[in-house]
Amino acid sequence: MQIINNPNKSDWSQVLKRPTQTVGDIEETVIQIFEDVRKNGDAAIKTYTSKFDGISLDSHIVTSEEIQKAMNAVPEKLQQAIKTAKHNIEAFHTAQKTDRIEVETTQGVQCWQEKRAIQKVGLYIPGGTAPLFSTVLMLVVPAQIAGCKEIVLCSPPNKQGALAAEIVFAAHLCGVTKIIKVGGIQAIAGLTFGTETIPQVYKIFGPGNQFVTVAKQLATKYGVAIDMPAGPSELLVVADEAANASYIASDLLSQAEHGVDSQVILVSTSKTLIDKVSEEVEKQLEVLPRKAIAEKSIGNSKLIYVENDTLALELINEYGPEHFIICSQNEDFYVDHIENAGSVFIGDYTPESAGDYASGTNHTLPTNGFSKAYSGVNLDSFSKSMTFQKISKEGILNIGETIELMAEAEGLQAHKNAVSIRLKDLK
């Protein structure tokens, strides 16, 4: 990992640069596939599944027989682990429910807000080198709690034309209405336009590679909402001289193994700790089954020394990490003042892996600096806030003149008339 000592603020943007392609580099491919899927539906889906996933399928829908086979294939201990994680995720997301908010703004003018579930949602579950069945829990559980009626799950098939048994098990356990063996850009396009077998949805959720991220952004041009731009995984750890170097190295590698375009960063006020972490990373890397992937990711990663906590915090807020781990004696300072992070992990015994799987928080988070403006997935992500109002005779008499004056000042006579005609009847 590259060690950077006390970088000047003017160089921070270069130091903190992500190892991702620009949208322009891949947008042309995404647009081309979207157009093909819009015109040719399942035929285009089949073509791109064969091209990118190396398998030709007669049907992309997971059958009841495949579901049963998957249910039997997942070991009992793993089934229990998935159920434990599901319970914790349900507990945390159920607690996010809010009651109706009702206010009488003026006597006779009643206003309230209620939540309504998004009826049709599409969930994208990455496959490839690591089928992320944990993401099924993170997306389906809050969708169910919110009350979404149609929950469509897409994930890329393996070379045998199947999904990982764990993905199918988790999807069935949580109540997915349709499981589809389609990945990549073509899955997002299918959910955007709808095909003969893929239902069109109102909002698309889930992480993915850079192509999937750009595809999700393109989907918004066709009236489909997305959770956030969630691309390659990233982690930033802040630590001081008292931190445990082996713990930190394990956390950095836990994200580095996600993919070759992942990025991990350590920011520290201790040069000694940086040296220890660098040694630990090399040692732990050697025994990882996904060493080749983690090694490339580590090449994108940085160990950054800064002089004090104030500078460290400023740099971290500038980066806006997806995952942020605090291993500092000055813990409260970071907890109280962090402004830009997707999810925060506090203390030596809170590995980022806990949030990825079973603590209860959601692991679908904004990357690439989007934590400066986006929240991670939560219960509200699956619903809309609707406002209501009911005005009595007394209420329209109380605010009628206010509306008339404002409408007239804006030159909108019909707006004024809609009130005046009522007031005339009441006076």
Point out the annotated binding site for substrate. 233, 255, 258, 323, 356, 410, 415
Give, for 92, the enclosing helix (H) or strand (E).
Answer: helix 76-94
Q: What whole-number distance in Å separates Cα of residue 421 and Cα of residue 399?
A: 14
Q: What whole-number distance in Å separates Cα of residue 352 and Cα of residue 284?
A: 17
CB distance 74 to 165 below 8 Å: yes
Binding residues for NAD(+): 124, 186, 209
391 Rama class: left (phi>0) / alpha (psi -120 to 50) / beta: beta
320 Rama class: left (phi>0) / alpha (psi -120 to 50) / beta: left
Binding residues: 124, 186, 209, 233, 255, 258, 323, 356, 410, 415
102 forms beta bridges with 112
268 forms beta bridges with 239, 305
Q: What whole-number distance in Å separates Cα of residue 317 and Cα of residue 339?
A: 6
Q: Closest by alpha carbon to 225, among 137, 366, 124, 118?
A: 118
> For the chain, first and last CA: distance in Å?
79
Q: Closest by alpha carbon to 328, among 317, 336, 320?
A: 336
* Active-site annotation holds for 323: yes
Q: Which of 60, 172, 323, 363 is catalytic?
A: 323
Q: What whole-number distance in Å separates Cα of residue 178 and Cα of residue 166?
A: 16
Q: What whole-number distance in Å separates Cα of residue 30 and Cα of residue 219?
A: 10
Q: What whole-number distance in Å separates Cα of residue 363 and Cα of residue 129?
A: 18
HSE-up of residue 235 (Cα within 13 Å, Cβ side) = 26
CB distance 269 to 3 below 8 Å: no
Identify residue 8 by its one-letter amino acid code: N
- Could you list the beta-strand ranges (E) of 100-188: 101-106, 109-117, 120-124, 150-154, 178-180
* Active-site annotation holds for 363: no
3-state secondary structure (DSSP) of residue 324: strand
Calculated CA dihedral for residues 159, 161, 165, 167, nearest 10 degrees: 100
Q: Which of 166, 234, 280, 322 is catalytic?
A: 322
Q: What whole-number distance in Å separates Cα of residue 82 and Cα of residue 379?
A: 20
What's the longest Cα–Cα distance across the chain?
Answer: 85
**Taking the alpha carbons of 414, 416, 420, 423 in that order, is the dihedral positive or negative?**
positive
Catalytic residue numbers? 322-323
